[in-house]
């Protein structure tokens, strides 16, 4: 790995394209000057073109010389990559056109193909990719991807249904699968234009009749005006509609520091947020209070409505309308915010100044909003594809070292769903509790789940079976309590 890092460092040093770019700019300027001269004096065109021959050749020679070091560093880096990651035979994942659904790993006992090449696994992978594109705001790419997946699935279904006994010349070809090409809409078995396979039902949540342009919603100048009404192309699919709403609110938060769309959304889902114990609604309201408090708009001489107030008076009017909702759960915080109004002329020297220097920033609130929005959709806060890729990248060095050691020692690891080494991951990648049996000192698995005895102690299923072997009643390994093995209950962690 050190050789690869050294080659990468060398490439970074040599990949200086400033000289090459400068020479290209000089060449372009020369051509533009010649073009302008010809436009002014058309009769001199042959002479001007003849004069270009030598400068152009010299410019190309300079550019080629400038790129020599870059090409040299790139070649060395490619050699280091090939040396480190030697090419090997890749498994057939069944993604190629006309390929088998099963991977080379074979089939399970029920005859279903296993591995990524199996149809069920491919459906999960396709959904993960489409979901990641939606979460990144790439609605156009997501729509195109889902449409292509849908079209491919339809072709595969037709190939499986169309088996012919004879070819066109009359020769018998039993069991040959023929691709019938494109069919008219509604030619599917269920006549609905949608694949009857349940595992493809997720496609309906992604499908749209039109795609927004540009692809990246956040790069659009009209992102804040996105509608989630049924007339909007993004709203034709359930997930597009939801994520379009999320990005509309995020655009207002990040780019315009407009809290109102997020506040309205939090108020609409207040019951669900409170049930989760979320603080998002109060954090948004507190940030709005601070924003109004710090506003420097000249006050109206004789204000008659709350909207005409400014500064602390505007914050006070907002607190009167909003804070009663939070008075029970956030009594201490609301009292402190209201107490700061008494020190409005000199807030910096007041005991409440920290409320205005450590409050949630727009970036923090945006992250919290994204997390709560996805949670209410029963989705994880981070993209599963991103999480899996990141975890795999972190664990790859450990697994590569393990493979190297096993190859050198000619050893094998045969335990299913386990590794002989721990792959350390950051705390953010821990999504569930881990139970280690106090008897066997082994981590629980689906095949060996934790079991709770009537006395309340928990041991692994294999330990339970070992202690209860040949006995109608067994003693708890950690207390005098006795019970029948059938009285133990599985614990889900």
Q: What is the pLDDT of residue 306?
A: 53
In 10 A of CB 221, how many CB atoms? Answer: 7
What is residue 174's three-state secondary structure? strand
Q: 259 near 291, Cβ under 8 Å?
A: yes
Summarize pLDDT for 373-410 with one digit per residue, the tens: 999 988 888 888 998 899 888 888 888 888 888 777 76
Q: What is the pLDDT of residue 63?
A: 85
Only one residue has tokens 């060095």, namely 397
CA distances from 372 to 130, 183, 234, 238 (A): 21, 43, 21, 18
Closest CA to 372 of 283, 288, 285: 283
Summarize pLDDT for 325-346 with one digit per residue, the tens: 898 889 988 898 888 888 887 7
Q: Specify the pairing of strand 489-490 against strand 450-452.
A: antiparallel
| Token pair in block for residue 108 | 């399970």
Helix axes 280-293, 311-322, angle to 10 degrees: 160
| Distance separating alpha carbons of residues 329 and 142, to the nearest angstrom | 41
Q: What is the pLDDT of residue 239?
A: 78
| Token pair in block for residue 156 | 């595969």
What backbone phi and psi angles, to 5 degrees, belong to 12? Answer: -65, -40
Summarize pLDDT for 123-134 with one digit per residue, the tens: 888 888 988 998
| Token pair in block for residue 469 | 């072997």
Q: How far apart are the first and last CA of the chain?
A: 39
Average pLDDT over the chain reads 75
| Token pair in block for residue 468 | 């209860």
Percent of the chain with pLDDT over 70: 71
Residue 241 — pLDDT band, cuts 50, 70, 90? confident
Q: For 478, which DSSP code?
A: T
Closest CA to 284 of 222, 345, 367: 367
Q: Which residues contact 202 (CB under 8 A, 6 or more apart)?
A: 123, 127, 130
Q: 246 near 226, Cβ under 8 Å?
A: no
Q: Which residues contact 238 (CB under 8 A, 6 or more apart)?
A: 204, 205
Summarize pLDDT for 117-158 with one digit per residue, the tens: 566 678 888 888 988 998 888 888 888 898 898 888 888 888
H-assigned helices in 307-431: 311-322, 331-339, 362-376, 384-409
The order of strands in the sheet holding 489-490 is 458-460, 450-452, 489-490
| Token pair in block for residue 462 | 């294999």
Closest CA to 456 of 442, 434, 486, 476: 476
H-assigned helices in 108-259: 119-135, 139-161, 203-206, 238-256
In 10 A of CB 308, how many CB atoms? Answer: 15
Summarize pLDDT for 54-84 with one digit per residue, the tens: 888 888 888 888 888 778 877 877 787 777 7
| Distance separating alpha carbons of residues 77 and 479, to the nearest angstrom | 63
User: Looking at the predicted structure, is the pLDDT value of residue 93 above 70?
Assistant: no
Closest CA to 448 of 465, 432, 431: 465
Find how far residue 378's CA is from the centre of its chain. 15
């Amino acid at each position: 790995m050190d050789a690869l890092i050294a080659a990468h460092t060398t490439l970074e040093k040599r990949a200086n394209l400033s000289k090459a770019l400068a020479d290209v700019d000089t060449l372009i300027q020369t051509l533009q000057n010649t073009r302008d001269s010809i436009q002014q004096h058309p009769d001199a065109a042959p002479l001007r073109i003849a004069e270009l021959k030598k400068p152009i050749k010299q410019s190309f020679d300079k550019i080629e010389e400038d790129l020599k070091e870059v090409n040299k560093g790139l070649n060395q880096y490619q050699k280091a990559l090939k040396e480190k990651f030697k090419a090997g035979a890749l498994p057939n994942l069944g993604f190629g056109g006309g390929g088998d659904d099963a991977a080379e790993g074979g089939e399970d006992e029920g005859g279903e193909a296993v591995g990524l090449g199996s149809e069920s696994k491919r459906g999960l992978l396709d959904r993960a990719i489409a979901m990641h594109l939606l979460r990144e705001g790439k609605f156009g790419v997501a729509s195109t991807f889902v449409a292509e997946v849908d079209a491919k699935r339809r072709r595969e279904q037709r190939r499986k249904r169309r088996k012919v006994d004879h070819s066109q010349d009359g020769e018998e070809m039993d069991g040959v699968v023929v691709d019938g090409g494109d069919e008219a809409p509604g030619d599917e078995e269920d006549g609905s234009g949608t694949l009857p396979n349940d595992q493809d039902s997720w496609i309906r949540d992604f499908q749209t009749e039109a795609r927004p342009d540009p692809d990246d919603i956040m790069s659009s100048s009209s992102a804040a005006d996105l509608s989630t009404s049924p007339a909007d192309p993004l709203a034709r699919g359930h997930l597009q509609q939801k994520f379009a709403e999320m990005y509309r609110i995020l655009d207002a938060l990040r780019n315009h520091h407009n809290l109102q769309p997020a506040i309205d959304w939090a108020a609409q889902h207040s019951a669900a947020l409170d049930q989760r114990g979320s603080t998002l609604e109060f954090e948004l309201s507190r940030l709005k209070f601070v924003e109004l408090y710090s506003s420097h708009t000249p006050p109206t001489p004789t204000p008659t409505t709350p909207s005409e107030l400014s500064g602390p008076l505007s914050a006070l009017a907002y607190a009167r309308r909003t804070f009663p909702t939070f008075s029970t759960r956030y009594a201490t915080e609301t009292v402190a915010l209201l107490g700061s109004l008494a020190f409005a002329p000199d807030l910096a020297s007041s005991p409440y100044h920290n409320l205005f220097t450590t409050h949630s920033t727009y970036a923090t609130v945006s992250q919290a909003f994204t997390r709560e929005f996805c949670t209410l959709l029963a989705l994880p806060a981070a993209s599963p594809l991103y999480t899996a890729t990141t975890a795999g990248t972190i664990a790859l060095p450990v697994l590569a070292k393990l493979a190297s050691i096993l190859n050198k020692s000619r050893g094998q690891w045969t335990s299913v769903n386990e590794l002989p080494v721990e792959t350390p991951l950051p705390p953010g990648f821990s999504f569930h509790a881990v139970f280690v049996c106090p008897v066997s000192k082994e981590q629980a698995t689906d095949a060996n789940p934790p079991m709770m005895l009537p006395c309340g102690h928990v041991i692994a299923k294999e330990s339970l079976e070992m202690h209860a072997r040949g006995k109608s009643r067994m003693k708890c390994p950690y207390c005098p309590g006795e019970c029948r093995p059938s009285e133990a209950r599985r614990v889900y962690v």
